[in-house]
Amino acid sequence: MRAVLGIETSCDETAAAVVDETGRVLAEAVASQDREHAPYGGVVPEIAARVHLALLPEMVARVVTCSGLRFGELGGVAATTGPGLIGGLIIGSQVGKGISLATGLPFVAANHLEAHALTARLPGLVEGGVPFPYLLLLVSGGHCQLVMVEDVGRYVRLGGTVDDAAGEAFDKVAKLLGLGWPGGPALERLAASGDPRRYRFPQPMRGRPGCDFSFSGLKTAVAQEVARQGVALPQSAGADIAASFQHAVVETLANRATNAMVLFTERHKTGRLLVVAGGVAANCSVRGALQDAAAAQGFRLVVPPARLCTDNAVMVAWAGIERLRLGLTDSLGAAPRPRWPLEALADRSGANGSGGNVPPRG
């Protein structure tokens, strides 16, 4: 199969990439919108959509030119069609459909979570490859879930957050501590000089059966501590709070992942891989704790490089390749879906359940 164009616009990264079946990235571009959203301390959907609209058409043309291919020489176009912010989803999927309509290339309505889930399978990324089945921990600003990845389109969700995502908790606590946005990286830097045992923040769900997460109680506990200390929070106390908060998150993630590994082992005889995806995977303490937890269960931890863990279009192009190889494409009627859980892909019926799964045209 020929190279596939991937388009990602589901949140605040505008991205396009051309990837071939061997996993070679022929061209790639990502534009982060941090600067645009920073004054508001979070992603403003309307601003995100306007920036996608301003950047995407030129970016798509550029990556295709840089790939050395013409549109007609591609094997397909995959655009994130959900879940995410509706404005961005409409822009990215419409651009993808427009290209498909104009060129006759098959269209894949890519699920953003599936793209994260399949990234580790990019050939050459992990020695020995990542065959199905494997366990996935997705920890980003918008998502926090543990999933058994059994095949393309076959996912068993073991648990997820009942309130905030882990990255969201990092961002909110960073805001409380007066750090910039997005807060995860800044909080990790501050935590490095703090004492993780100074404050005993709750570790929600820890020790309970199952694989669900909850971070809003932890965030509230931090907010109460910050309020108790008042506006003149000394730098060292801020570092201790950051470190103690991070410790609570890390312990919770490791505990829930351990339960998931036990469940995975009960169900599957093969596949002892714990794959981590999403921006929070960039956190060294998170990675260290997961490494230990994985080793204790006889699992190998796989963390793709940071640029592939955070939102990007290489993962979308790759998800497109995985689907096209199976003959799975979507109709141009596939509607953008702000909510689109992985389990909904099980019937392989495409983005809106009506008209997906049509054989590729070219």
Question: Does 12 participate in binding Zn ion (rule CB under 5 A)?
Answer: no
Stretch that binds Zn ion, among 1-9, 37-45, 310-318, 353-361 (CB under 5 A): 310-318
Residue 286 CB, shortest distance to ligand KG4, in Å, is 7
Name which of Zn ion, ligand KG4, none residue 225 binds, using a CB cut-off of 5 to 8 Å depending on partner kind: none
Sign of torsion over alpha carbons 252, 255, 260, 261:
positive
Q: 183: closest CA among 283, 309, 60, 303?
A: 283
Residue type, 359: P
Q: Is the CB of 98 or the CB of 185 nearer to ligand KG4? A: 185
Query: Does 140 participate in binding Zn ion (rule CB under 5 A)?
Result: yes
145 near Zn ion, rule: CB under 5 A = no
Report if residue 203 touches ligand KG4, rule: CB under 6 A. Answer: no
Give yes or no for residue 83 binding ligand KG4 (CB under 6 A): no
CB 117 within 8 A of CB 342: yes
Residue type, 139: V
Please identify, among the stretches 45-53, 127-135, 162-170, 290-298, the one whose residues bind ligand KG4 according to the rule CB under 6 A: 162-170
Is 8 near ligand KG4 (CB under 6 A)?
A: no
With a CB cutoff of 8 Å and minimum separation 6, the contacts of 265 are: 272, 297
Work out whether 225 is an interface residue with Zn ion (CB under 5 A): no
Taking CB under 6 A as the criterion, the residue among 96, 182, 196, 356 binding ligand KG4 is: 182
What's the token pair of residue 309? 């863990």
The residue count for the chain: 362
Yes or no: say if 268 and 148 are a contact pair by the CB < 8 Å rule. Answer: yes
Q: How far is the CB of 205 from ligand KG4 (least distance, A)?
A: 19
Residue among 20 and 311 whose Cβ is closer to Zn ion: 311
Give exposure, 323-350, as e/b (b: 16+ Cβ within 10 Å).
bbeeebbbbeebebbeebbbebbeeebb
Asked if 141 touches ligand KG4 (CB under 6 A), the answer is yes
CB of 347 to ligand KG4, least distance (A): 25
Q: Tell whether omega for the bond before 359 is within 30 degrees of 0, i.e. cis.
A: no
* C-alpha gyration radius of the chain: 20
What are the phi and psi torsion angles at 274 (to 5°)? -110, 110
Binding to ligand KG4 by residue 95, rule CB under 6 A? no
Binding site residues, ligand KG4, CB under 6 A: 11, 140-142, 167-168, 170-171, 182-185, 188, 278-280, 282-283, 310-311
